[in-house]
Each structure stands twice: as structure tokens, then as C-alpha cells.
Structure 1
Amino acid sequence: MAQINDTIVAPATNIATQAISLIRISGEDAREITNKMTKKPVPDKRGFYLRKLYEGSELVDEVVINFYNAPNSFTGEEVVEIACHGGILNTNHIINVILKNGARMALKGEFSQRAFLNGKIDLIQAEGINDLIHASNDLALKIGIDNMSGSHNKAVLILKEKLMDIISRIQVSIDYPDYDDVEGSSHEDLILLLQQIANDVDGIIKRSKMAVKSVDGINTAIIGETNVGKSSLLNALINEDKAIVTDVPGTTRDIVEGKINLGNTTINLIDTAGIRETTDVVENIGINKSKEYIKKADLVLYVVNYDNYKDKQNQAMYNLLKDKQHIIILNKSKDLTSEQIKEVNNYFGEKVVTTNALYGDIDNLINLIEDKYNNEEILKEDSLVLINLNQISLLEKVSSNVHKALDNIKADFPIDIVNVDLYEAWNYLGELIGEQYDEEIIDNIFRKYCLGK
């Protein structure tokens, strides 16, 4: 069974044919195990050392060893990082020699887990590391970097401190009921302080949920009649020939999906079957799916051509989506006059975006989507943003308890009942940063990581 005090090893870089591979060893025997493979020992001193590695008397490789004394390492333990020549066989050979000399293979995320257990990082920083590694767009990258560094995590500590201050004031009022002049302990003072805390927590939740949507992706359905250029638009957006493009109506009979990264936002694209009246059973299934995707989509890209935008089928489609977030796209606009484009704008009563998707002319559309989801509100605050759903859920529990305490104070409930909710909120904040935790939950958190981190 794996033990937390074992010395562990794992590749810190992908094992592949490359110039350099990095192998990480952590634990109290890290340097001792390394010295079993060298003729010239690595001293017990922080630094870089050029050494030859041996398996018995056989030379294995010449490497650079980076040694960290405990507790001045990422994990808080003695750490050795070996920069060896890359290559699948060579890297695996060195790892196997390390295993033979007393280390065991690390579990996924075990280095980061040890950093947390040894007080080097909190849980928000730990999740930030994972968010950084798996970032899908610039927003996710920035949030991962900020949370990993801990630059905004003090917001949780400040909230905990403020809550404990209120809890303490209330406790004094309970323990010493005759001592009624504790500064800031009147109902009015407590309501004001709790409202400020509620606003701070709700602000983090709001920004975090906005960020989650942008990081996970805006679910975007491309809809329109047959042969208006929906598949060409999908291909132009994802810059590959994923959807089949022909002049035959009804070519897209099912759903084709794609994903694009637009700076701070990821767009999950769905090219739906063209909507039209048809007796084709299979095509009808695709059309019904398209209507369902319109209902579920966060954003609808509604594609029309100049020769069909007024027809009955298009009007019916527009009625399905006009109350949703949408963009009207006038495709195949290459030869249209400004008057014709103005005519389409006037018909819909809103500005349409002109594209020529078959020729890759979609800059107008890209710019509009980026403006619509630029996430300035998230980034300009320069404060804590979470994109982990479990963490957001904990904050929602904090908010619920603080609001419940506020309602109870306003309703003149006994003050000790108010404190019960505030203690719960305070404990949830501690759980958020890992001051209280369940070992099984912690194991599950770190097993989401990649090997070697």
C-alpha cells in the first residue's frame, strides 16, 4: 500500500524522443537513493551537480542533478530533479534504476498532494496548478496562474477573519448578557457587517460562474435553412474541413461539432442539419435535433442568404431564437451592395454580420463574438475567481449560511441561533482552502492531476 512517507519518483516531463527529460524524486531518501547511482555523491546542499549515473558498474547516462533540501522544495520534502537525455528507453531505464534503489512510482498528483499536506500550498493553489496545466484558453490560463501563486487567495482568509470577528462579538454578547456595550455588536452593526461579507462572497460566486462558462465553452448552435453555408462557416471557424460542404440541400443530416479558442473564451460549435420541410425520415430526425439544440444553446449563429432571408421557413426559425443570445449572419455577401445589406438589417431590426464562409472571410463574426464575450468584468476586478465547481459549491454554502444569519438577525431570532449559521459558513471557508478536509476527498482531488505533478 502506498504510504505518504515513501520516497516517490515520476517523470516530470512527457516520456518521448526529445533532447532532455526531467525525472523528479521526493522523500526523505531522495538524495540517498540518487547517491546509490553516482560514484561522486551529491552533497547535502542546495544546488546543481553534473554527475554520471550507474546501474552497478554500468554507465547509464550523464545528467544534471538539481537538489533541494527539505523543507525548501515544492513538496516540502527532500527533492532531486534529474535532467537526463531524452528518449523513451533511456528515461524509463533511469526510472527503473531509481525504483530498484528504493523509491516507488508516484501516484497521479502525489507531488502536489504532498505540497498541500506539508503546508506549502492550500487547496485553491492546488486546484490552480491543475487549472493551469489543463487551461483551454487565455482566461483559464490567467486564473490558473493567479490561483496557483496564491495572489488572490487572501480574500478567503480575510472573509474568515471577518466572520470570526462577528462570531466573537456575538459570543461575548451570549456569555456576558449584562455587558451590552461591546463596540460594533448592535443589531444594526452586525447587519451591516454581514451584508458586506455576503456581497463579497456573492461577487466571487458571480465572477466565478461567468468564468466557468467561458472556460468550459459557450455552447453555440449554427442554424439556418439548407445550403446557406452553415458547414462552410463551421469549417472556416475551426480552420479545417470537418463538415461536408456541397451544393446539395440536406447534406448535413446529423450534428457536427467543433471547438475554437477565441482568447478569453472557448466556443463549442454545433453545425446542425438545415431546417426545411422534407419527407426524408433520417433528415427529419436531424432537423428535430437542430430545434432541440436551439433551445439548449447559449448562443445561436443564425445563417441566412440574401435570396432567402424573407421566406416563411426563415421567419419561423427567427421566432424560435429571437429571445435567445444570437447573431444573424448574412453569408455569401461577397457581391451584395451596401443597400442590399441595409435592407436585410432593416428587415430583422438589428445589425447583421456579413461573411463569405466558403472563402474564409469571417473576421467580422470573430470580432463580434470576441466583443460579446471579452470577460473584462471578470479580469478587471483583479480578485479571486474560481473555475472548480466543487469550490464554487462551497462558496454557495457560505453565501447561504451568511444570508440565513442575516435574515435571522433581521427577524430578531435569538443571537445564538445566528452564530450557528456563521460557524457553518466559517467552516466551509476553511474547507475551501483545506484547513479542514477528508482524506478520501483529498485523494480524489489530486488524482485528477497528471503523473509527475
Structure 2
Amino acid sequence: MDTIAAISTPAGEGAIGIVRLSGPQAIQLTDTIYQGKKSLREVDSHTIVYGKIVDNDSKDHLEEVMVSVMRAPKTFTREDVVEINCHGGVVSIQRILQLVLRQGARLAEPGEFTKRAFLNGRIDLSQAEAVMDLIRAKTDQAMTSAVHQVEGRLGRQIQQLRQTILEALAQVEVNIDYPEYDDVEEMTQQTLRQHADQVQAAIGELLSTAAQGKILREGLKTAIIGRPNVGKSSLLNSLAQDTRAIVTDVPGTTRDVIEEYVNVRGVPLKLIDTAGIRETEDLVEKIGVERSRQMLKEAELILLVLNNNEPLSQEDELLFEAVADLEVIIILNKTDLPTKTDREKINLLASGRPVITTSLLQDEGLDELEAAIAALFFEQGVERADSSYVSNTRHIALLEQALQSIHSAIEGIDTGMPVDIVQIDMQKAWELLGEITGDTVGETLIDQLFSQFCLGK
């Protein structure tokens, strides 16, 4: 296998930049452009040494660096790995990368370091995918869940399920090999049913965390809607703790959709501040209103903002109708002003959904709103004892398919179907679970998954 190299730190200025190499020639290749007290070939593994990078053609010293040397197999890729730590300027790190490539390294493809870790047996596919979840985590809880998956928690659970199925399939082989014993088939069906029930329960337990896990991984698409000038932009700014949207007393100030990620008690929200929904002749505002209506169809949570200082209007009632079948929290804002709205009618229109009173101008009611959001999607609280969630869409789909195969196997057993037919459904479940860890996955899918990674990871 050849030696690859890439920049592993974000583009732009920074204190430190890192060029990472992995492969059989990583140490020798770097040593040709390195000057220090001793050769990199001589330093101990998993040490960091000071030196300079030299352009062999011009003999110029390009950079002062700290070089980390890690020898196989105790590295992330299970290959020799070198990390050149230099100053984080754009020109500096690019010059070092170009010099490394001139010495014979190949520019790494997106995710190729993690791909090599997978191909070399360092991690399974679920752990590899969790690396990206770790990078993209938007809350502490999402990061904790990703860390546990990187450690292999999900992979171990899947391997246990596959082993249980394998034991059941072994019983089928006994039945096929020794058909002369009258009680073998009955015993095999009983064993198959026990194993199938065990796998079914375990997959069901994993899938029970899927909704919460997907929210932690991708964020909850949350649309803030309401008539103009009820406090939608103020709500976005309050939750984001930043001035992201312009707030004025002029109705129709927000003309377009504004998006911001916020962390509400461990729940990542992708907040979408929409233009106030009303009939208007202003062409630009009309486009904004249409986009707001489109957001209603795509959002997973609606924050419907009403004005406590105004009577309920027909437009407000139409908004209640538009969100009748959606997850909604009603926010009655501007409680610092005299109440002019009909609270009883609001409660009736809410149909049992949460109604939170706020004065965003005085920062009142936000704690109650955050508690309502967390309770709506994490009824038992966002924390789990093991912080373990199934969050990857691909994993969820494979678990659901595997569960369906187990259901078919159980139905076959209950109807007295021959065990070699039941074996087909059990085998299919075993293969589907193997796709999660990469044991039964094709090369095309592997390439597709790793192409989504960033360079240098």
C-alpha cells in the first residue's frame, strides 16, 4: 500500500497546522526533508521531536517543526504514521504538504486515513462512521454518544446479536445433518424461537433510541412562525444568545429564512426564523411568506408565537389550523404588556399542547420553554445511563430490515414451516446486521461512505 499525506487541520490561519502521513514509507519519506539531532528512523515510537523542514533543492529551511513518529501497528491506521506540526499559516502548511508530495507521498482521498483504519481491522464500519459524528456533534450529549460509538459500543452489541443468530443457524445444520432423530426438529424449532425472540428484543431496544439518536446527530428542524412583529426574531436571538436576526417594531422586517443551530438542554435545534405569515402586496415579503409556509411542511417542531398584547386574529387561527397535525409549542409573548388576548380560546386551540408565556424583552419564560422542548422529545430526559443511541440513518434502516427478517422467521416457526426455510430469514438478518459493522458490506458502499469525510481524517 502506498503512503498518503494530507493537511489535518482546518484551512486558514491558526496557531498550529498539521500535515499527516500514513503508510509504509511515512517515516523514511519525512526523514528526507527533516533536520534534527538524530534521524527520524532512530527515534522511539510515539515520541515527538523538534527539528526543521528543509527543501532539498534550494537547501532552504522552510519551517521549525515538531514531528510525531508513531510506528505500526499501534497507530490509528495500523500503519506507520507521522504528523508534522508547523505554524498554522496557509502558505507554511501548503509548502510542507507540497514538499512531502514531491518526495513520493500521494495526496489522501477524503476519509482515507479512517478508511485504512477500517480496512486494516483497527475499527469496524460503525466506529468509522462515528468519527464523523464526533466531528459534527453540536451538543455535549451528541459528542458523548459519538465517543461511545467510536469506542465500539454499538459494534459489540451488533456482534453479540450476530453470534446469537449464528448459534441458531448451527442448530439448523444439526437438524439437516441428523434427520433420523425424531426429536431433533422439535428441539431445533424451540432453540430457533428462543434465539429469534432474544434477537428481536435486542434490536427493538436499539431502535427505541433511534428517534432521540437521530435528533442528537442531525438536530431538530424547528420553525419559528407567527404573524409579523410578535417576537419571532427576538426568540431566535434569545435562544441563540446572540443577535442573529434584526429586531424592529416595523412589521415585515424579516423577509427571508434565517437559520441558526442552538443547544437547548442537550437537544440540538436547527432554528429557522421565518418571515411573518400574513397577506401582503410587497413582492419581496410575499416570497418570504411563501418560504415560511414551505418551512411548515419540513419542520419537525413548530414554535408558534402569539402576541399577548393583541387580540387573536383570523391569521392566528389559520396558523393553528396549519399546524394541527404537527408537534407544536405555543409561545404567548409580550407578557410585560397588558393582556388583550383570549387565554381560554388559546388553550382551546392548543388542544393540550404546551402553552408557554414569555417576555423576551425581559428574558422571562425561556427556562420554561427550554424545559418544554426537552420534555417533548426526551420524555425520560435527554440523559441515558449509558449515553448510547442509534443515530445513523443507515444503521436504523438496516436494523429495521433485520427486525423484519426476524419477524418473518418467528412467523415461520409458529406456523410449522421447515427449519431450512426459516434459516433463510435468519441468515438474511445476520447479513443485514453485518452491514452495520462492515463484515458483509460491499466495496462500493465503503467508498461512498468514506467519500463524505473531510480530507486529512
Are the structure 2 counterparts of residues 53 and 174 from structure 1 closer, same or farther at C-alpha, using a change threshold of 3 Å? same
Deviation for aligned residue 1:423: 1.0
Contact map agreement 1:211 1:378 (CA 8 A) in 2: no
Q: Secondary structure at the match of 1:62?
A: strand
- 3-state DSSP class of the match of 2:187? coil
Query: Is residue 421 of structure 2 the alignment partner of residue 417 of structure 1?
Result: yes
Q: TM-score, normalised by structure 2?
A: 0.87
| Contact 1:169/1:182 (<8 A) preserved | no
Question: 2:442 — aligned with what?
Answer: 438
Contact 2:126–2:154 (8 Å) recurs in 1:
no
For the 8 Å contact 1:218–1:268, the answer to whether it is kept is yes
Matches within 5 A, 1:2-21: 5-21=1-17
**What secondary structure is seen at the aligned counterpart in 2 of 1:48?**
strand
Q: What do residues 70-93 of structure 1 show as CA deviations (whole Å, max 9, x unaligned)?
A: 111111111122222332222222
How far 1:164 sits from its partner (Å)?
0.3
Residues 170 and 185, structure 1, Cα contact 8 Å, conserved in 2: no
Which deviates the most, 415-424 or 209-218?
209-218
Matches within 5 A, 1:394-405: 394-405=398-409
Contact 1:15 1:91 in 2 (8 A): no
CA contact (8 A) 1:31 1:79 kept: yes
2-structure distance, mates of 1:221, 1:397 = 32
Contact 2:356–2:369 under 8 Å retained in 1: yes
- Structure 2: distance between partners of 1:41 and 1:364: 62
Q: Which residue of 1 aligns with 2:334?
A: 332
Which residue number corresponds to residue 68 of structure 1? Answer: 70
* Alpha-carbon separation, structure 2, partners of 1:226 and 1:87: 46
> SS at 2:49's partner residue?
strand
Deviation larger for 62-71 or 36-45: 36-45
Distance of 1:286 and 1:19 partners within structure 2: 42
Aligned partners of 1:226, 1:50: CA distance in 2, in Å? Answer: 61
Alignment map for 1:178-197 (pairs within 5 Å) = 178-181=180-183, 185-197=187-199
Instruction: Tell me the distance in 2 between the aligned counterparts of 1:292 and 1:449.
Output: 31
Alignment of 1:8-87 (within 5 A): 8-39=4-35, 40-42=38-40, 43=42, 45-46=44-45, 47-56=47-56, 57-87=59-89
Deviation string, structure 1 residues 97-129 (Cα, Å, up to 9, x no partner): 222222121111111111111111110110111
* Contact 2:278/2:315, CA 8 A, preserved across alignment: yes
Q: Tell whether 2:109 aligns with 1:113.
A: no
CA distance in 2, matches of 1:303, 1:15: 40
Structure 1's unaligned 5+ residue stretches are none
| Structural mapping, 1:377-396, within 5 Å | 379-380=383-384, 382=386, 384-396=388-400
381 and 423 in structure 1: CA distance in 2 versus 1, 3 angstrom threshold:
farther
Code of the residue aligned with 1:35 in structure 2: it is D
Q: CA deviation at 1:402?
A: 1.0
> CA shift at 1:288, angstroms?
5.8
List alignment gaps of at least 5 residues for structure 2.
Answer: none
| Alpha-carbon offset, residue 146 of structure 1 | 0.8
Question: Cα gap change, 1:223/1:17 in structure 2, threshold over 3 Å: closer, same or farther?
Answer: closer
Structure 1 residues 255 and 21: CA distance shift in structure 2, 3 A: closer
Kindly provide the amino acid, as one letter, of the partner of residue 406 in structure 2. V
Tell me if the contact between 1:152 and 1:383 (Cα under 8 Å) persists in the aligned partners.
Answer: no
Aligned length: 448
2: CA distance, partners of 1:308 / 1:182: 77
Corresponding residue number in structure 2 for 1:354 = 357
**8 Å Cα contact 2:252/2:276 also seen in 1:** yes
Instruction: State the TM-score, normalized to the length of structure 1.
Output: 0.88
Please say which of residues 370-379 and 86-95 is displaced more in the overlay. 370-379
- The CA distance in 2 between the partners of 1:68 and 1:308, in whole Å, is 68
In 2, Cα distance between the equivalents of 1:99 and 1:166? 52
Cα RMSD for the two superposed structures: 3.0
